[in-house]
């Protein structure tokens, strides 16, 4: 797998970047945020501004460790400094965070909302906060987590809300391209072809829309701060 990543990094960097963004997004809620939320504490230096929204060094460090940890789990092995440098891993993390903020902005533009009840439900399903048999949400574990990571429930739950906003915005964009469903009674092969076509069209639509978001965005990166922080993390 590592050999495949090295090969793609050289021959097809855009494909690798798309994979990193896709997998990074998949793992945001399911595998990582709570494990590294302590990175929200500390000196809030600014690495970039995305449509005016500041991206703090502490947030970048947190997401860097989240993505690194997730890929090590995915690949079942460590990612050393050499391969992280070859992949320009800090750049991939920054790009992922920029896209995330652009989707959050778009969700607000579309007037999408995530009710408190949905956020509470999402938090209660995080395995890290469950105990017992069968597993159930533990307010004791949740409170301990908040105390240990020096953050409020409001801040943590807001990060979950933003992730859900991104998901909702992307679902809405994907729904724009849905080819007509086959007539009832069609062969399974026809249904499979329709499903593949639907997924391909939706993914193309999503990527095209994301490029539009990027093209009309106003992103300012503090190159000196970014390089210094990247060097310290590699």
Could you report the per-residue pLDDT of 35-81, keeping only the tens digit for each? 444 444 444 689 999 999 999 998 898 888 888 887 787 777 888 88
Cα separation of 121 and 140, whole Å? 16
14-20 average pLDDT score: 50
134-142 average pLDDT score: 91
Could you report the per-residue pLDDT of 191-219, keeping only the tens digit for each? 778 778 888 888 888 888 989 999 999 99
Cα separation of 45 and 16, whole Å? 29
- Among residues 75, 77, 41, 82, the alpha carbon closest in space to that of 58 is found at 41
What's the pLDDT score for residue 181? 65
82-101 average pLDDT score: 89
Indicate the number of domains in the chain: 1
Q: Taking 50 as the threshold, does the pLDDT of residue 23 lie above it?
A: no
214: domain CATH number is: 1.10.4030.10
pLDDT band with cut points at 50, 70 and 90 for residue 22 = very low
What's the pLDDT score for residue 57? 92
Mean model confidence pLDDT for the chain: 79
**Cβ atoms of residues 114 and 161 within 8 Å:** yes
Q: What percent of the chain has pLDDT over 90?
A: 38
**Cβ atoms of residues 219 and 50 within 8 Å:** yes
pLDDT band with cut points at 50, 70 and 90 for residue 225 = very high
Reported pTM: 0.76
What's the pLDDT score for residue 75? 76
Whose tokens are 């026809």? That residue is: 190
Q: Name the residue range of residue 143's domain.
A: 2-233
Q: Taking 70 as the threshold, does the pLDDT of residue 150 lie above it?
A: yes
Q: What length does the chain have?
A: 234
């Amino acid at each position: 797998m590592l050999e495949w990543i090295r090969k793609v990094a050289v021959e097809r960097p855009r494909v690798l970047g798309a994979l990193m963004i896709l997998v990074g997004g998949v793992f945001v809620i399911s595998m990582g945020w709570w494990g590294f939320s302590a990175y929200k504490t500390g000196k809030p230096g600014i690495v970039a501004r995305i449509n005016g929204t500041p991206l703090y060094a502490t947030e970048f460090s947190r997401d860097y460790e989240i993505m690194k940890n997730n890929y090590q789990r995915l690949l079942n092995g460590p990612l050393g400094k050499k391969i992280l440098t070859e992949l320009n891993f800090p750049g991939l993390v920054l790009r992922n965070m920029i896209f995330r903020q652009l989707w959050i902005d778009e969700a607000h533009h579309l007037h999408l909302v995530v009710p408190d009840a949905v956020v509470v439900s999402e938090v209660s399903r995080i395995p890290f906060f469950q105990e017992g048999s069968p597993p159930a949400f533990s307010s004791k574990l949740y409170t301990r987590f908040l105390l240990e990571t020096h953050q409020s429930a409001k801040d943590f739950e807001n990060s979950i809300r933003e992730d859900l906003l991104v998901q909702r915005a992307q679902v809405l964009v994907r729904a724009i391209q849905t080819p007509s469903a086959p007539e009832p009674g069609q062969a399974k092969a026809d249904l499979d072809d329709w499903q593949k076509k639907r997924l391909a069209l939706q993914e193309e639509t999503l990527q095209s829309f994301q490029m539009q978001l990027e093209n009309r965005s106003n992103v300012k990166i503090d190159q000196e701060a970014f390089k210094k922080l990247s060097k310290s993390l590699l």
